[in-house]
Structures are given as structure tokens and as C-alpha cells.
């Protein structure tokens, strides 16, 4: 597949996702968010490409990257086409060199199931329980200068974001606490900037819920996106608004998961 074909496939996937949401089909959103949870280091466009070409993919890497991990791509396997940035140096009027992206090219990656060879360390996931990820998420919150507190009652809510402060209700299970903390952290990271304060409360809640879903799913916690039916109605098939919203979700989920991974010893997904 060439670059133009990959771009066309991505545009088609986005349009179909918007149409599916407008038609009330939340399954397509769930599939996409599931892919995002597994490949949070990738742009949402590349997540769309992976989901379209190989929905069951779990870990992907390039041909040479798999070889470095002691695995080879099986004969006859077809690669998953994604778009990789081309980074180069540019010289300004003063002669100073700066790095920048000057284009994109089509590259092919392969899913773990398309390879054979050495076993990889098991970095996936603690089914149904966040384990020490809850402590690491709390530490990430603290490292960002956000105060974390616990209250007996929060007027019926499990968590509250108050601009530099997050409060969780006491008595939550570890899984509930992890998901709620991810949700409130998403608000802190995503909706405090001036250009995002004008978003409706509904959009903010649904975006935070989507980020929490991606982060929790990546941590091995099960459970559907609670407000997916509301998210469907939120964009009404508007591709531009949907693109902006998914971009915010992807970037925020990536930031949170990257922060957790910096505190985790083990194999990380190889990206291109």
C-alpha cells in the first residue's frame, strides 16, 4: 500500500466512524478505543489504519525491529500500512539548524501473531485489577503538581476535578479508583486550557470518560464505555468535530499511559 492509499483508507475509516456514530452504532467507537488502548504511542490516524487492516492486532513493530527482539515475520504475511513522519533538518535565515517534520511516508509493521521466534516478556495486563498501577497513577498525578485527596462524600460523585486538585470518594475498589482517577486526571490535562473551556459540559465528560476507558483498558480492566450512547449523539456525524475530539482523547490517553510506563520495567511497544 502506498502513502496516498493509506491516507485515503484513513479518511474513509474516519468518515465511516462518524457515520456509524451518527447512526447510533457505538460498537465502532468501542473498537477504535480498544485499538487506541493497545497502541497509545500512535496517532489516532494510525490507530484507525491498524484497526481497519488488522482489528485483532496486539503489538506491532517493523520487520527489523522484530528481528532485534529475536522474532521473524512469517513467510507470506502482509504488513499493516501506517504513516510515519519524515524528520529532517532545516536551516533558518541565521544559519541555525532545527529539526522538523517535512512529510510522511508509508511504512509497514507486523502484528505479534504474524511473527515467530523467541518468547516475549509478558507485560500484559493484570486482568480485572490495576495492581500497583493505581499507586503509579497517583504518583503521576502528584508529579504533575496536582493535589490528590479523599473524601467520604462527593455529592454522589466518585471523583471531582477542581483545577489543580482531584478528590476521590473513599471506599472505591482499586479498579473503580483507577478508572475514576484516570477520568479526573483527563479533565485536568484536557479541559483547563483557555481554548478548551468553551467546550460543553457534555463533551468534556464524554472525552474524559473515553480517556479513562482507554487507560483502564490498557491496564487490563474490563467494562464498557459507560456513556458511549451519549457520545454518539454528541457529534451528530460532524467529522471535523469528531476529529478534534478524538485527537484530544488520543493525546491525553497517550500522556497518561506514557507516564505510567516510565514507572514500569519491561518491554515497551516498538514504534516507527
pTM: 0.66
Check: CB of residue 62 under 8 Å from CB of residue 109. Answer: yes
Say what the pLDDT of residue 236 is. Answer: 53
Q: Which CA distances in Å does 102 have to 1, 49, 61, 123, 258? A: 21, 21, 23, 35, 25
| pLDDT tens digit at each of 272 positions of the chain | 888 888 898 888 888 888 887 777 777 778 888 888 888 778 888 999 999 999 999 889 999 989 988 999 999 999 999 998 887 777 767 777 776 667 788 999 999 999 999 887 543 333 357 888 899 999 999 999 999 999 988 887 889 998 899 999 998 888 889 989 999 999 999 887 766 667 888 788 888 888 888 898 888 887 656 544 455 455 555 677 778 888 888 999 999 999 988 754 332 333 32
Check: CB of residue 211 under 8 Å from CB of residue 186. Answer: yes
Domain layout of the chain by residue ranges = 3-72+118-261
Amino acid at each position: 500500500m502506498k502513502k496516498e492509499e493509506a491516507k485515503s483508507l484513513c479518511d474513509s475509516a474516519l468518515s465511516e466512524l462518524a457515520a456509524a456514530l451518527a447512526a447510533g452504532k457505538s460498537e465502532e467507537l468501542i473498537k477504535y478505543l480498544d485499538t487506541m488502548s493497545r497502541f497509545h504511542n500512535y496517532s489516532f490516524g494510525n490507530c484507525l489504519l491498524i484497526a481497519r487492516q488488522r482489528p485483532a492486532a496486539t503489538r506491532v513493530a517493523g520487520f527489523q525491529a522484530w528481528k532485534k527482539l529475536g522474532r521473524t515475520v512469517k513467510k507470506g504475511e502482509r504488513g499493516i500500512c501506517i504513516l510515519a513522519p519524515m524528520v529532517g533538518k532545516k536551516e533558518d535565515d541565521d544559519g541555525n539548524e532545527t529539526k522538523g517534520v517535512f512529510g510522511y511516508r508509508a511504512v509497514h509493521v507486523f502484528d505479534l501473531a504474524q511473527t515467530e521466534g523467541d518468547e516475549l516478556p509478558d507485560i500484559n495486563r493484570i486482568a480485572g485489577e490495576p495492581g500497583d498501577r493505581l499507586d503509579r497513577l497517583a504518583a503521576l498525578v502528584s508529579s504533575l503538581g496536582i493535589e490528590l485527596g479523599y473524601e467520604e462524600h462527593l455529592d454522589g460523585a466518585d471523583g471531582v476535578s477542581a483545577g489543580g486538585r482531584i478528590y476521590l470518594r473513599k471506599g472505591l475498589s482499586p479498579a473503580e479508583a483507577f478508572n475514576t482517577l484516570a477520568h479526573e486526571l483527563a479533565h485536568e490535562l484536557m479541559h483547563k486550557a483557555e481554548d478548551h473551556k468553551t467546550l460543553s459540559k457534555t463533551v468534556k465528560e464524554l472525552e474524559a470518560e473515553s480517556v479513562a476507558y482507554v487507560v483502564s483498558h490498557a491496564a487490563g480492566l474490563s467494562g464498557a464505555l459507560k456513556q458511549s450512547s451519549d457520545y454518539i449523539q454528541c457529534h451528530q456525524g460532524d467529522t471535523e468535530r469528531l476529529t478534534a475530539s478524538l485527537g484530544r482523547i488520543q493525546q491525553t490517553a497517550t500522556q497518561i499511559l506514557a507516564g505510567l510506563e516510565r514507572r514500569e520495567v519491561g518491554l515497551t511497544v516498538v514504534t516507527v
